[in-house]
Structure 1
Amino acid sequence: MNTSTPDRFLIPTLSACNFVIGIGAFSLIGFLEPLGADLDRSPAQAGQLMTIYAVAYAILSPLLVAVSGNVGRRRIMAAGFVVYALAALVCATAPNFAVLGIGRILAAAGAGIFTPLAAAVAAGLYPEERRAKVLAAVFFGLTISQVVGVPAGSWIAYTFGWRWALWMVFAFALPCIWLIWTRVPAGLKFQPVTLRDLRDVVGEGRLMLAIGFTASFIGSQYVLFTYVAPLLSSTMGFGRDGIAMVLMVAGFGAVAGNILGGYLSDRAGWRITLTGMCMVQMCILPLFSLLPVSVPMLFVLVFAWSMGSWSFMAAQQVRLINIAGHRAPVVLALNAAAIYFGAAIGSALGGAMIVGYGLTSLGVTAGFAAAFALAHLTLSARLSPLNEARS
């Protein structure tokens, strides 16, 4: 491990890069309707682009991290962002839905290299007692993207066209390549991971069950989150400005949740934190099936939902790093993959519920999915290699 004092701009750099990744990954949620209208797709069909990204990330991220285990972290992280920038360019200029899907696969590959390695670098350069806060800071960019990037992307897409939102992602990605190259230490390597490590982790049932909780929890959120724009349009009569405002409120909730999750994880331990988040979501998500409600009530509901959904990340990552040992990069890549695997499952389930039962079924369905996530957490905690309430 590199034991030198980390560059004071390293964590802000990693966070800024995750901010750009967050915009590219999630801003699509805010403009499914104009994109679908332009490409002659329904909102449920346009939502398949989230599924494509998620599945590609889930498959490619752990493989790419494993095969690049002997390459310096700066080089491979910069290369990942080059791929991400090119993917944004492909998406912005895509002539049809198929090419847009290819662009989303490339974006997933680039993000799938960068994000888990950013977490591994941060965890490896800072002492254990600071890991939860440092990891929360690295992922702060993803949460800020919910406050600024996703609502801005939605507003731009509704005002000027969805392609302009993707051009914005491309423009932001370019300086990130320079930041990675100048702020991530040159020659930085930890104990290398290999495809054999990936095979061993995948074959370790208890560890994969712990990683799989991420997919269960995120899946419960994306049953609703993927289709929140058409839901608000249908039930609340919201257009461009209303949807952008709700997404901004959700973004502030995400920031609060990110901070709260790191705080609770350091003080109460991962198990209490994650159990509490599941129970909060079980109570809040079904309320979205009761829309319409007053606008102030909606904002309170959205803020609480988003805060709960974003509070789990630091606790789950600390839990997995404690279990993983030197295989942390592979485990974090699989955890990041589980995020998008869960998003794919949740998006697909939400789309199926819309077709079968309508948009208002999403809240109740998501609530049941959160209950499943709680059961998954309870089982994985009992079987965990580190079966402790605080670890």
Structure 2
Amino acid sequence: MTHPPRDAALPRALWALMMGNFVIGTGVMVVPGTLNDISQSLGVSIPQAGQLITAGAILMGLGAPAFATLVAGWDRRRLLTLSLLWYALLMGICALAPSYTALLPLRVLAVISPAIFTPQAAACVGLLVPASQRGRAITFVFLGWSVASVMGMPLAAWIGGTLGWRWAFGLVALMSLASAAWVWRDMPNGIRPAALSRQAWGQTLGSPALMLAVGVTLLSAFAQFTLFSYFAPYLVQTLGIGGGTLSLLFLWFGAFGLAGNVALSRWIDRIGASRGALLMMGGMALSLLLWPLGRAGLWQQALVLVPWAIGCFAANSAQQARLVHLSPALAPATVALNTSAMYAGQGMGAALGGVMIAQGQMLRLHEVGLVVMLAAMALSVWATRVQKRS
């Protein structure tokens, strides 16, 4: 068996898409990173502020497959550029919101962009690179989310802790403008994945292997965001740290997240996407199992975060590659569904975490996360067996 050259050059357009995902990811994670400041500034509780995550995730979850159908015939250069311009506009308006009741609907409108950009960028990959580079290219494009966790989320947490959350939102708006210009410059004209017919959706929804794989993404995101949504208030409560230390912990988390995604992008075409996803979820389960040890101190918490960080974004990259590999022709539908599942899982996790915090159960969030992550791993094994039989 031959393998594609690991140092084969990727098209310039993939760099623009990767940076677009960086901006999108930073905007999505700006709320968890500034949750404490939003709560204090707008005079709402932590669970209520967490509804910004839940509401946004619900819109992204429901919107991804719907928008995939609505924009099927659009030129992707124009579509992706417009989605980033919309992000810039709404994030800028969010930064000026006078109250929580004004911010909530504006935030929901803003996340229309992630519902479009991330799945449609992934769906373009198959038209930009040969099949032998597809797995590497998809994981490369999703490196943007890992870079967002390394740079975007810590920067947002630091800005939120020093200047206020409004400045963090404003920064995302400016970055969105720059990213839109980059996509417009480097994305070729005429990239139009095949329109999603009813038959394509029927084939996707009727495939047990595809739908089980999508279910893995849902459960994995659910498991993570039960706790991840509330990292900031959790770490402040358990370790008594300030905004500067919190941003350093986010930077630590993001650095290992980037390392995990880079490593996976180099090896995924060799080890297989299904195995890669299971390995990454196993690392996150280990962190959730050891989570109480982090309460002993800052360094203990930092070490417990490492396996989770390595698997956090790499697992979703592997899932995207897994679905594209299963059926390249259905990639626009499966990637949209997978993105929908990811966002829906985030919303479910944030909602459950908020309920638990309101009931005084913040220190037990990891227990729920662990149970759901183990369920995701079991479903992944089942999905692989179904895939081999089909």
TM bucket, shorter chain: over 0.9
1:229 shift after superposition: 0.8
Q: Please give the secondary structure, in 2, of the residue aligned with 1:292.
A: helix
Equivalent position of 1:71 in the other structure: 74
CA distance in 2: counterparts of 1:205 and 1:138, whole angstroms: 27
Query: Structure 1, residues 250-279: CA drift from partner, whole Å, max 9, x if none?
Result: 110110111122234222112222222232
* Equivalent residues, number: 383
Q: Any residues of structure 2 matched to 1:293-304 within 5 Å, and which?
A: 293-304=296-307
Alignment correspondent of 2:160: 157
The reply on whether 1:142 has 2:145 as its aligned counterpart is: yes
Q: Determine which of 208, 226, 243 is the counterpart of 1:240.
A: 243
Alignment correspondent of 2:127: 124
Q: Percent identity?
A: 30
1:180 corresponds in structure 2 to: 183
2:311 alignment counterpart: 308
Q: Distance in 2 between matches of 1:335 and 1:66?
A: 14
Contact 1:193 1:330 in 2 (8 A): yes
Q: Does 1:333 align with 2:336?
A: yes
Q: Could you tell me how far apart the structure 2 residues matched to 1:189 and 1:272 are? A: 31
The alpha carbon displacement at 1:203 in A equals 4.6
Partner of 2:65: 62
SS in structure 2 of the partner of residue 70 of structure 1: coil
Query: Are 2:49 and 1:46 aligned?
Result: yes
Q: CA deviation at 1:232?
A: 0.8
Q: Deviations over 1:181-240 (max 9, x none)?
A: 221111222322245533553354442222121111111111111111111111111110
| C-alpha separation in 2, matches of 1:254 and 1:15 | 15
Partner of 2:349: 346
Structure 2 contact 10–129 (Cα < 8 Å) conserved:
no
Structure 1, unaligned runs of 5 or more: none
Q: 2:296 aligns to what SS in structure 1?
A: coil
One-letter amino acid matched to 1:85: A
Cα shift readout 1:119-174 (whole Å, capped 9, x = no counterpart): 11123211222122211211111111111111111111111111010000111111
- Check conservation: 1:261, 1:310, Cα contact below 8 A: no
Structure 2 vs 1, CA of residues 118 and 165 (structure 1 numbering), >3 Å: closer, same or farther? same
Report the counterpart of residue 12 of structure 1 in structure 2. 15
Q: Which moved more, 1:363-372 or 1:13-22?
A: 363-372
Please point out which of 339, 358, 361 is paired with 2:361. Answer: 358
Gaps of 5+ in 2: 1-7
Structure 1's 60 and 243: CA in aligned 2 closer, same or farther, altered over 3 A?
Answer: same
Shift of 1:311: 2.2
> Shift of the alpha carbon at 1:290?
3.6
Q: 1:267 to 1:379 in 2, by over 3 A?
A: same
1:283 and 2:270 equivalent? no
Matched, 1:265 2:268: yes
- Kept in 1, the 8 Å contact 2:64–2:337? The answer is yes
What is the Cα deviation at residue 281 of structure 1?
Answer: 2.2
Distance, in Å, in 1 between the alignment partners of 2:327 and 2:337 is 11
SS in 2 for 1:95: coil
| Root-mean-square deviation over aligned CA pairs | 2.0
Q: Describe the superposition over 1:279-332 as per-residue Cα deviations: whole angstroms up to 9, x where unpaired.
A: 222221132234422322222222222112222123211210122332211211
Write the distance in 2 (CA, Å) between the matches of 1:217 and 1:357. 24
The TM-score normalised by the length of structure 2 is 0.93
Amino acid at match of 2:159: I
2:209 maps to 1:170: no
- Partner of residue 230, structure 1: 233
Partner AA of 2:342 in structure 1:
I
Shift in Å, 1:37: 1.2
State whether residues 11 and 128 of structure 2, in contact with CA within 8 Å, keep that contact through their aligned partners in structure 1: no
Q: CA deviation at 1:354?
A: 2.1
Work out the CA distance in 1 between the residues paired with 2:252 and 2:47. 24
SS of equivalent to 1:34 = helix
Q: Which amino acid aligns with 2:176?
A: A
Task: Give the alignment's TM-score, normalised by structure 1.
Answer: 0.92
Aligned to 1:207: 210
Q: Distance in 2 between matches of 1:365 and 1:191?
A: 40
Determine the C-alpha separation between the residues in 2 that align with 1:180 and 1:271: 31
Task: Report the CA distance between 1:7 and its aligned residue.
Answer: 8.4
Quote the Cα distance in structure 1 between the aligned partners of 2:180 and 2:286: 42
